[in-house]
Amino acid sequence: MKIGIVGIGHGKFGNRSDATVQELAFEPFKQAIEDTENLGREDIDALVVGSVPEYHMQRSLPGVVAEYIGMNPQSVWLTEAACASGSAAIRTAYMAIKSGMHDVVAVIGIQKMRELSTEEILALMGRVGDVQWESIFGTTFPGYYALYANRHMHQFGTTKEQMALVAVKNHHYGTLNPNAFFQKEVTMEKVLGSAGVAYPLKVFDCCANADGAACVIMTNEKKAKKYTDTPIWFEGLGSASAQMSVLRRPNLVEIPSAVEAAKQAYAQANVKPSDIQVAEVHDCFTIAEIMAYENLDFCPKGKGGKFIEEKQSYIGGKTPVNVDGGLKAKGHPVGATGVSMTTEIVKQLRGDAGKRQVTSAEIGLTHNVGGIGQYTFVHILRR
Amino acid sequence: MPFKYFGKINFTPFTKVDAFADYLHKGKLMGTQCKKCGEKYFPPKADCIKCMNDDIKWIEFSGRGTLHSYAKIIAAPKGFSDIAPYTIGVVDLEEGGRLLSWIEDIPDDEIKIDMPVKVVPRIFEEIEEIKLYYTIEKA
């Protein structure tokens, strides 16, 4: 039996010092219910929350969210896979429905990061490497991606200009997304001239820490028609892991968990990379989007820089990527990101994406990477 | 020499491989080797990933290797802003395994990926408490 999405909601991402974490969760949840026909809150029999607990003062997030949005006494639990927590939550919801244990499941991806200072976040995120042998030297999240960038530049001739072009594209599409943190074009000169964070990465090569929440409502084929005329189906779900430590990775020019998860998703959906008409990829840094093109086989290994240079990831190119602005322009509330990506693909496949619509898109993909590549989830959706 | 003395800030004071800090204090860079399948580990491991054997021995690493990649950290995390900016490097060690540490005494424009380097055991002199670490230097 197929499993699909019947409702979506997306809150405003950015600096949300106006709301608590549960108040943020309420926004997309309410929208998602309003997005469906004939679906009441009481029809939802489980809630999965995707989030990274360490950022919040509030402990045990699913509890406070379930109460605030009025889901008691239904079943609720948390999934965590660092920055891929949202897609991990979707995967567990899929399993819950597929098994027959639950019929209608709401997934809320949520994060409030800006309760912490940048220095604290740098320390917290830096500890997503191996703390015993790496963090003691003051590694940071951008630092790890800078290791990838320098090696990628060395091995394939990728340039800082090519990386900057990813930021230019994603900020361009961000201007078309009212939920994005940033809605302003940036120029290549502005990206290259921005302050250094972790050489060769600059401020505009990095996504921003943000607050935000997104929601999808999932159900099985039997029930879906009752709630919507345009369910969007999960056709392939890939999930894989890679070494925690960069010291044990086979190389530093790809995310091996992404390569493996993509292979699984393509096989299950029985589609080729060239069949993907719109993709949401994990551009936590510009180099990450370049590696994603390669790891998802949108282009050959080492040619990611050229792919953006030729504008193949723009609407009208081979595979439009992150046409909602990506993590770069939307901001990256870590637990919310995977769910946010999914809502965009649903909009695109429904034909509801407005100014950023990819014409008659039928097959879409999400690629959500956790940590520095420890976890990747690749989902292929179809109208 | 307890393991808590390894690193500017140590996050894991208790480990099965705490002898590493002792050796480092004596100027030796030690990894481990599985007694059953012979797999060598740096960073050292108490248990073999490959064959799941938990009987390992200590072996000395030469510290020789090549630079696999590097990153200059400008925005530093909590506890490291006093030494920022600093450059971290990843070294492919001659005996196998990799190591991450600070690159010292190599000017930015002379840092080249794949260049030969050596790893040198060190003690922080400017910190009162004993703090052990190692650096990546020109071979």
* A168-217 residue pLDDT tens: 999 999 999 999 999 999 999 999 999 999 999 999 999 999 999 999 99
**Using alpha carbons only, how large is chain A's radius of gyration in Å?**
19
- Indicate the residue type of A272: K
Contact A119 B81 (CB under 8 A): yes
Nearest by CB to B88, which of A119, A137, A248?
A137
Give tens-digit pLDDT for A105-145: 999 999 999 888 888 888 888 788 999 999 999 999 999 99
pLDDT for residue A365: 98
**Rounded to whole angstroms, how far apart are CA atoms B87 and B69?**
11
> Is residue B108 very low, low, confident or very high in pLDDT (cuts 50, 70, 90)?
very high
CA A68 to chain centre: 25
Q: Between β-strands A104-112 and A46-50, what pairing exists: parallel, antiparallel or unpaired? A: parallel
User: Shortest Cα distance from B42 to chain A (angstroms)?
Assistant: 8
The phi and psi torsions of A264 (rounded to 5 degrees) equal: -60, -45
Q: Is the peptide bond prior to B121 cis by the omega test (within 30 degrees of 0)? A: no
Nearest residue on chain A to B85, alpha-carbon basis:
A198
CATH of the domain at A50: 3.40.47.10
Q: Report, as an integer, the average pLDDT of B44-53.
A: 97
Query: What is the CB-side half-sphere exposure of residue A177 using CA atoms within 13 A?
Result: 34
Three-class SS of chain A: CCEEEEEEEECCCECCCCCCHHHHHHHHHHHHHHHCCCCCHHHCCEEEEECCHHHCCCCCHHHHHHHHCCCCCCEEEEECECECHHHHHHHHHHHHHHCCCCCEEEEEEEEECCCCCHHHHHHHHHCCCCCCCCHHHCCCHHHHHHHHHHHHHHHHCCCHHHHHHHHHHHHHHHCCCCCCCCCCCCCHHHHHCCCEEEECEEHHHECCECEEEEEEEEEEHHHHHHHCCCCEEEEEEEEEECCCCHHHCCCCCCCHHHHHHHHHHHHHHCCCHHHCCEEECCCCEHHHHHHHHHHCCCCCCCCHHHHHHCCCCCCCCCCCECCCCHHHHHCECHHHHHHHHHHHHHHHHHCCCHHHCCCCCCEEEEEEEECCCCEEEEEEEEC
Give the rounded percent of residues in chain B with a pLDDT score beyond 90. 91
Which tokens go with B110? 């002379």
Taking contacts as CB-CB distances below 8 angstroms, the residues of chain A near B111 are: none
- Domains in chain A, number: 1
Q: Report, as an integer, the average pLDDT of B52-71.
A: 98
In a domain, A313, yes or no: no
pLDDT at B128 over 80: no
Taking contacts as CB-CB distances below 8 angstroms, the residues of chain A near B24 are: none
Which of the 8 DSSP states describes residue B86? E
Which residues share a beta bridge with B6?
Answer: B132
pLDDT for residue A241: 98
pLDDT for residue B127: 75
Contact B11 A132 (CB under 8 A): yes
The parent domain of residue B105 ranges over 3-138
- Domains in chain B, number: 1
When mean pLDDT is compared across A114-128, A301-315, A343-357, B86-100, the lowest value belongs to A114-128
pLDDT at A321 over 90: yes
In a domain, A46, yes or no: yes
Contact A131 B11 (CB under 8 A): yes
pLDDT for residue A359: 97
Give tens-digit pLDDT for A202-259: 999 999 999 999 999 999 999 999 999 999 999 999 999 999 999 999 999 999 999 9
- Residue A263's contacts (CB-CB under 8 Å, 6 or more residues apart) are A238
pLDDT at B96 over 90: yes
Q: Report, as an integer, the average pLDDT of B104-111.
A: 95
Nearest by CB to A132, which of B8, B15, B79?
B15
Which tokens go with B108? 């930015």
**Rounded to whole angstroms, how far apart are CA atoms B105 and A150?**
20
The parent domain of residue A93 ranges over 3-116+209-227
pLDDT for residue A127: 85
pLDDT for residue A114: 85
pLDDT for residue A116: 84
pLDDT for residue A125: 82
**Rounded to whole angstroms, how far apart are CA atoms A311 and A307?**
6
pLDDT for residue B129: 80
pLDDT for residue B17: 97
The phi and psi torsions of B15 (rounded to 5 degrees) equal: -155, 155
CB A230 within 8 A of CB A125: no
pLDDT for residue A117: 83
Residues of B with CB under 8 A from a CB of A: 6-12, 15, 42-43, 68-81, 83-84, 86-88, 90, 97-102, 113-114, 133
In a domain, A364, yes or no: no
Q: Report, as an integer, the average pLDDT of A38-42.
A: 94
When mean pLDDT is compared across A68-77, A112-121, B39-48, B70-79, the lowest value belongs to A112-121
pLDDT for residue A126: 79
pLDDT for residue A120: 83
**Mean pLDDT computed over every residue of chain B:** 95
